[in-house]
Amino acid sequence: MASQPPRVFLSAGEPSGDLHGGEVVRKLKATLPGIIIDALGGPRAAAAGARVLHPMERYTVLGFVEVLSKIPAHLKLLRLLEDQFRSGTYDLALLIDYPGFNVRLAEAARRHGVKVLYYIAPQLWAWRPERAKRLAGAVDRLAAVLPFEPVFFARHGIRAEYVGHPLLDRSPPPSHQAARQSLGIGAEERVLGLFPGSRPQETARLWAPFREASRRLLASDGCDRVVVAGTAEGSYPGSEGFLLHRGAPETVFAAADAALAKSGTTTLEAALADVPMVVAYRVHPLTSWLARRLITVPWISLVNLVAEAPVVEELTQRSVTPERLAEAVRPLLDPENPKTREQRAALCTVRERLGGGGAAARVAAMAAELIG
């Protein structure tokens, strides 16, 4: 009898995971023709050839408090998938980020003998590292995307490999000149880029202070143009006079002299584009209260964590005011300012530490090895 094709369940519960998961799906299908990949995911995974049985839009949330409304849906999906692991439907669980759900899914898979590969590790080095013992009992391999992670996880008995960051696999961005031409921006204009986030909760909390800080800078001749990296569905009230770009954010990074950026992967994108930045972080007050008691690292931005130094200024919660934001980013709009030069030198170190691309191909190879 002919052998059955391998079957994988991919769990990517939010847009960034769907993006990176799509690349892995594409590489896996090239490595193992005939492989069947079912998914909790979105359009990127589907376009790459996965069967998206559980659309991620039903589950995506941000923050401790906000997740409460989605708990019933997550529990129902977890029970369904555990039944499928028990019945031998899948040979591998390939889990991407989304730790609140995916760690439990990993445990369910392991209970029934299904191999588990976790890509984009839970940030246990930031939040209660003692939980690494739980992860060690739930995964077979871990594909890390930050260079300092394998050492941390090895201390807790987890076989982790640095595969490179998936951002390094993106197509080359447009040049500074080409980006400005496409946006209709003059070569000598001082451009502030706004990156308030892709999730509605992020944008709702950051957009107003970002907008008002930008207006202060325009009124005081601190910059000449403001470009917003918006999403297709995002709402940006009061953006009159700004350039709202709903396409690829790489164009805005390429055109900008400096940026106001939400914390997260956006900070690494700015670092790769050599854009000086100020980082902002705002969540529900109860979420913030819990975070202050759980965080075990000195910074919130990935740029500072990779550099192991305070490369960029971080403003959080009540500090995220138009006045503070404008004051912090103003010197970065001048390429000759010592603060700009200093930050750009540090961003170069971050890029060196991130190394080269090839993350998706390495993850696909790890998956194929686990499938056997």
Structural domain spans, the chain: 7-164+357-371, 176-354
pLDDT digits (tens, 9 = 90+) for 187-239: 999 999 999 998 777 888 999 999 999 999 999 999 999 999 999 889 999 99
Q: SS3 for 66?
A: helix
Is the dihedral angle over the CA atoms 143, 117, 61, 124 positive or is it negative? negative
Which pLDDT band holds residue 300 (cuts at 50, 70, 90)? confident
Q: What is the CATH number of domain 176-354?
A: 3.40.50.2000
Q: How far is CA 292 from the centre of its chain?
A: 21
Q: Does residue 184 have a pLDDT over 80?
A: yes
User: Is there a common fold for 7-164+357-371 and 176-354?
Assistant: yes
Average pLDDT over residues 162-176: 92
| First-residue to last-residue Cα distance in the chain | 19
Q: What is the pLDDT of residue 289?
A: 61
**CA–CA separation, 12 and 55 (whole Å):** 10
User: Would you say residue 65 has pLDDT above 70?
Assistant: no
Q: Is the pLDDT of residue 1 over 50?
A: no
Whether 67 has a pLDDT exceeding 80, the answer reads no
Would you state the structure tokens that stand for residue 22, as one six-digit string?
């799509």
Contact 249, 320 (CB under 8 A): no
Average pLDDT of the segment spanning 330-349:
97
Say which residues have a Cβ less than 8 Å from residue 221's Cβ, sequence separation at least 6: none
7-164+357-371 is classed in which CATH architecture? 3-Layer(aba) Sandwich (3.40)
Percent above pLDDT 90 for the chain? 73
Among 106, 117, 52, residue whose Cα is nearest residue 81: 106
3-state DSSP helix/strand/coil % of the chain, to nearest 5: 50, 15, 35
Least confident of 6-15, 60-69, 298-307, 348-357: 60-69
